[in-house]
Structure 1
Amino acid sequence: MFGDLRRFDPAWAPGGDWFRRFFDEMWPDPGAADIRSVPRGSFPMINVGRTDDAVRVYVFAPGLAAEELEVSLQDNVLTVSGRRGGGAEADTGERRTHFRRERAAGEFSRSVSLPEGLDPDRAEARFRNGVCEVVLPKREELKPRRIDIQAS
């Protein structure tokens, strides 16, 4: 009458995956992008933000050296590319069978469209602890300016 209760699927329980997806679809928050909004296997992860003076792009590339990344800007599209090795087991030359493998190896490339009004000649990139920060200053004429008020 009630079906086989032994085949209970926890995904249908309150708080399960369907519940989260239902609320995300009913009331989307455009400012709340998270790991679910990035296609599976995307590498490197990228954050893009803006200040009054510049656009800042953070490229999260753990396990890579600065020399293994290439950053380029053309027509307001920032592209990060490079190659990620197979990890420690590739260095030993030893043949292995993996029970689970989540870290992909090989060439990668990610591109991000940026807003107009940036000064590519003043762009800078710094790499530290697996994070590459790319700073793209805004052109002077597009920066907000404060106008002093003179008392009469």
Structure 2
Amino acid sequence: MNPTVRTAVVRDPFLSFFDDVVNDLFVPRTVAARNAAPEALVTKARVDVVDRGRAYEVTADLPGVAKEDIRIKVEGKRLSIEATARNERTLNEGDQVLHTERYATQYARAFALPADLDDSRAEARFENGVLTLVLPKREVIAARTITVQ
């Protein structure tokens, strides 16, 4: 569900109960589906956003992800984060997987912040499965009056 379409007294662009319910519907439930090699599921990355005055600090949990597999895009006020966690395992001849819950997971999150972002001064750090972004706000140039001569 698009958070800008939801109607509420206070709009929360970071939380969608509907997304959680819908994602649960698509988790494989049958024995055959559990034994098959599942495709990567898209999971909503958990984020915290703090307004630090001149910049926003965004912290996102991306467990199992390598920093090379993180893609961040900034367009105006909009921030998009995508990442893939891979579970590559080697099976020996004769091995049979009886049950697996550890497979590739795709994380995605996109939302708009209140102010335009200056992507040229943005900083990103990734440590212990936690992505931290410092996104400076774009400086607003004050309107000036021009005198006609």
Query: TM-score when scaled to structure 2?
Result: 0.57
Distance 1:36 1:97, change over 3 A: farther
Cα deviation, 1:26-55, whole Å, max 9, x if unaligned, reads: xx9988x88968625634222222111211
SS in 1 for 2:83: strand
Matching residue of 2:98: 97
Letter in 2 for 1:124: E
Structure 1: any 5+ residue segments left out of the alignment? 1-27, 143-152
1:43-82 maps to which residues of 2 (within 5 A)? 43-82=44-83
Identical amino acids, percent of aligned pairs: 29
- Aligned pair count reads 109
Letter in 1 for 2:104: A
Letter in 1 for 2:51: R
Letter in 1 for 2:61: F
CA contact (8 A) 2:76 2:117 kept: no
Distance 1:37 1:53 in 2: 33
Distance 1:74 1:35, change over 3 A: closer
Structure 2: any 5+ residue segments left out of the alignment? 1-8, 25-42, 142-149
1:1-150 maps to which residues of 2 (within 5 A)? 39=20, 40=23, 42-85=43-86, 87=87, 90-93=88-91, 94-98=95-99, 101=101, 105-141=104-140
After TM superposition, the runs of 4+ consecutive aligned structure 1 residues lying more than 3 A away are 28-31, 33-38, 139-142
Cα deviation, 1:1-50, whole Å, max 9, x if unaligned, reads: xxxxxxxxxxxxxxxxxxxxxxxxxxx9988x889686256342222221
Distance 1:80 1:34, change over 3 A: closer
**How far has the Cα of 1:127 moved from its partner?**
0.8
Query: TM-score when scaled to structure 1?
Result: 0.56
Letter in 2 for 1:66: K
**Higher radius of gyration, 1 or 2:** 1
Q: Which moved more, 1:50-59 or 1:112-121?
A: 112-121
RMSD: 3.1
- Which structure shows the bigger proportion of residues in strand conformation? 2
Distance 2:46 2:18 in 1: 11
- Which structure shows the bigger proportion of residues in helix conformation? 1
